[in-house]
A and B are shown apart, each in its own frame.
Chain A
Amino acid sequence: MFGYVRPSVARLTEEDKARFGGVYCGLCRVLGERYGQAARFILNYDFTFLAILLWPDGAEGERLRRGCIAHPIGKRAYYPGNEALELAADESVILAWWQLRDALEDPGEGKAKYRAASLALKTAYRRARERRPDFDRITREKLEDLRRLERERCPSLDRPADAFAAILAAAAEEVSDPVKRRVLEQLLYHLGRWVYLVDAADDLAEDFTSGSYNPLICRFSLKSGELTGEARESLVISLDHSIRLMEAAYELWNFGEWSSIICTVLYEGLFLVGRAVLEGTFQASDMNFRIAGRNKEQL
């Protein structure tokens, strides 16, 4: 995904920062171990958060310390691989792969970086697909739905967001406790929906100039690459409400030692990121994998 999902770091205790960093570094290591060094470039905060949500109950585990290829000075603390890190690693490879394929199918310039990334991920993707065939199938189907909606220039925010949200919700399918699964399905659905809509807002000006599909342009019949006051208000209501629904879901499960990190994401971090994106001050990631195309068809 895109790195929009962040804790409100100012609220984290030193221990929580170490925990968050430990999951981030742990995920990076698991990506490297399972898929080779090249796969580590797809690491981002969104999947770190996914791993935290999926973390086995009551099993935080010890953080180990080792040197890191990306940080030559000093050692980094990380959690050794577990089922949550493995699931987040496998699913991030599958999602990154299909998003790259999508980007490559779009007509337009500047495909060299996608081609290179795609080449680097090919073997990794095959392995991930073998490990998670169901997630691979759902991702492929939902991204196909998304492309169809884009071709139709669907004027709804909810329909394309639903296709993307369903992919994230599918990440909860392997959770064995039925209550936790329901809670995570709802939480991840709205997280996926929120990511899709925030990404659409982030890309709005660029998509307007290039003539690419963007649900905000179609939903609000925008005549420029900026949201009108009314459109902004509607989008804010949708974003806020999705966050509220994530919070309501989160409160129904005890996430133990991860609670305070999750709280800072849901009760503050997402609002701050959304607001920064709407104000155009969010520092976008260099990893501009686009959600299923935003294909370059002319308006």
Chain B
Amino acid sequence: MTDPYEVLNIPSTATDEEVKKAYRDLARKYHPDNYHDNPLADLAQEKMKEINAAYDAIQKERSGRGSASSGGYAQQSYGGYQYQQRTAGDPAFLQVRMAINRNDLGMAEQLLDRMGDHNGEWNFLKGTICYRRGWVDEARRYYETACQIDPGSAEFQQALHFVENNRAGYRPEGYETFSTGCGGDNLCGRLACFYLSCNLCLGGGMHFFCC
């Protein structure tokens, strides 16, 4: 078995607090919330399993007890929003959802395109297909329409919120939460520094060929 300390990227001499912190940081990085409807969700899930197993092993080793628990991250879903309780779920869309879960986006789209009633769920599923392809702008528009048609659906709201506010996810230590738009905390100062540095630190002359 892989060394659990290696998995958590800490020395075996780490204190209990350090172990906990390393585990929390990694769990935050690979948390299912960061990989909703992501084509790489299965890889993140694997990482999460490794981290949970490593943390459990260390806990077990240190406590001498046999049943340490990692805190429940492993129980959450990476698949998308399917784990939500759906009250508005229409059986006609079940096949579409199954095709999306199999990542057969072409089939899912064909099924949707044959339907005449473009209700909230139809728009939500269209949005999900776009999102899985990386088509963020169209996904967002479909999710918006879904929310307008069916404002009570937590599933649709959650999907829209995720596309629009994916700013609170994991950041490496020392990195602030940035946005291309306004709101970056020290952005202006950093920007001045950035240009200066481009010219000075990278040798100035590098611009000979590139710019």
Chain A residues with a Cβ under 8 A of chain B: 3, 6, 8-10, 12, 17, 20-21, 24, 28, 40-41, 43-45, 70-71, 76, 156-159, 162, 165, 179, 182-183, 186, 189-190, 193, 219, 232-234, 236-245, 247-249, 251-252, 263, 267-272, 274-276, 278, 281, 283, 285-287
Contacts of B38 in A (CB 8 A): 245, 248
Determine the distance from Cα of A186 to Cα of B35 in the docked complex, in whole angstroms. 13
The minimal Cβ–Cβ distance linking B186 to chain A, given in whole angstroms, is 11
- Inter-chain contact B202/A17, CB cutoff 8 Å: yes
Determine the distance from Cα of A29 to Cα of B164 in the docked complex, in whole angstroms. 43
Contacts of B190 in A (CB 8 A): 8, 10, 268, 272
Determine the distance from Cα of A189 to Cα of B198 in the docked complex, in whole angstroms. 26
Decide yes or no: A70 and B181 within 8 Å by CB, A9-B194, A263-B172 being known contacts. Answer: no
B94 sits at the interface (CB 8 A): no
Contacts of B180 in A (CB 8 A): 236, 239-240, 243, 270-271, 274-275, 278
Determine the distance from Cα of A190 to Cα of B136 in the docked complex, in whole angstroms. 10
Q: A44-B209, A44-B210, A248-B40 are in contact. List 5 more A-B contacts (CB 8 A).
A: A10-B197, A40-B209, A76-B203, A241-B163, A281-B191
> Which residues of B in the span 179-211 have a Cβ within 8 Å of any Cβ on A?
179-181, 184, 187, 190-191, 193-195, 197-198, 201-203, 205-206, 208-211
B178 sits at the interface (CB 8 A): yes
- Inter-chain contact A21/B202, CB cutoff 8 Å: yes
Determine the distance from Cα of A275 to Cα of B195 in the docked complex, in whole angstroms. 13
- Inter-chain contact A236/B179, CB cutoff 8 Å: yes
Decide yes or no: A252 and B43 within 8 Å by CB, A10-B190, A271-B178 being known contacts. Answer: yes
The minimal Cβ–Cβ distance linking B98 to chain A, given in whole angstroms, is 23
- Inter-chain contact B172/A267, CB cutoff 8 Å: yes
9 A-B pairs with the lowest CB-CB distances in the bound complex, closest first: A158-B135, A9-B197, A236-B181, A274-B180, A271-B178, A70-B208, A157-B137, A43-B209, A267-B175
The minimal Cβ–Cβ distance linking A30 to chain B, given in whole angstroms, is 13
- Inter-chain contact B167/A240, CB cutoff 8 Å: yes
Decide yes or no: A267 and B178 within 8 Å by CB, A17-B202, A245-B38, A252-B47 being known contacts. Answer: yes
Instruction: Pick the contact of A162: B135, B194, B208 (CB < 8 A).
Output: B135
Determine the distance from Cα of A285 to Cα of B206 in the docked complex, in whole angstroms. 13
Determine the distance from Cα of A71 to Cα of B163 in the docked complex, in whole angstroms. 46
Give the number of residue pairs across the A-B interface with Cβ within 8 Å.
156
Contacts of A183 in B (CB 8 A): 40, 43
Chain A's closest residue to B131 (CB) is: A241
Instruction: Pick the contact of B187: A157, A232, A272 (CB < 8 A).
Output: A272
Contacts of B133 in A (CB 8 A): 158, 162
- Inter-chain contact B208/A285, CB cutoff 8 Å: no
B138 sits at the interface (CB 8 A): yes
Tell me whether chain A's interface is mostly helix, strand or loop, or mixed.
Answer: helix
- Inter-chain contact B198/A233, CB cutoff 8 Å: no
- Inter-chain contact B210/A189, CB cutoff 8 Å: no
Chain B residues with a Cβ under 8 A of chain A: 29-30, 34-35, 38-40, 43-44, 47, 130, 133-138, 140, 163-164, 166-167, 169-172, 175, 178-181, 184, 187, 190-191, 193-195, 197-198, 201-203, 205-206, 208-211
- Inter-chain contact A158/B40, CB cutoff 8 Å: no
Contacts of B205 in A (CB 8 A): 70-71
Decide yes or no: A70 and B134 within 8 Å by CB, A183-B43, A233-B181, A271-B184 being known contacts. Answer: no
Chain A's closest residue to B191 (CB) is: A272
Contacts of B34 in A (CB 8 A): 248
Instruction: Pick the contact of B171: A6, A156, A267 (CB < 8 A).
Output: A267
- Inter-chain contact A20/B202, CB cutoff 8 Å: yes
Determine the distance from Cα of A158 to Cα of B35 in the docked complex, in whole angstroms. 20
Determine the distance from Cα of A232 to Cα of B164 in the docked complex, in whole angstroms. 13
Decide yes or no: A283 and B137 within 8 Å by CB, A70-B205, A179-B43, A237-B163 being known contacts. Answer: no
Contacts of A71 in B (CB 8 A): 203, 205, 208
The minimal Cβ–Cβ distance linking B124 to chain A, given in whole angstroms, is 17
Determine the distance from Cα of A159 to Cα of B154 in the docked complex, in whole angstroms. 29
Instruction: Pick the contact of A268: B43, B175, B198 (CB < 8 A).
Output: B175
Can you list 6 A-B pairs, Cβ within 8 angstroms, ordered by A?
A: A70-B209, A156-B137, A234-B137, A237-B163, A248-B40, A272-B194
Contacts of B175 in A (CB 8 A): 263, 267-268
Contacts of A179 in B (CB 8 A): 43
Determine the distance from Cα of A247 to Cα of B40 in the docked complex, in whole angstroms. 12
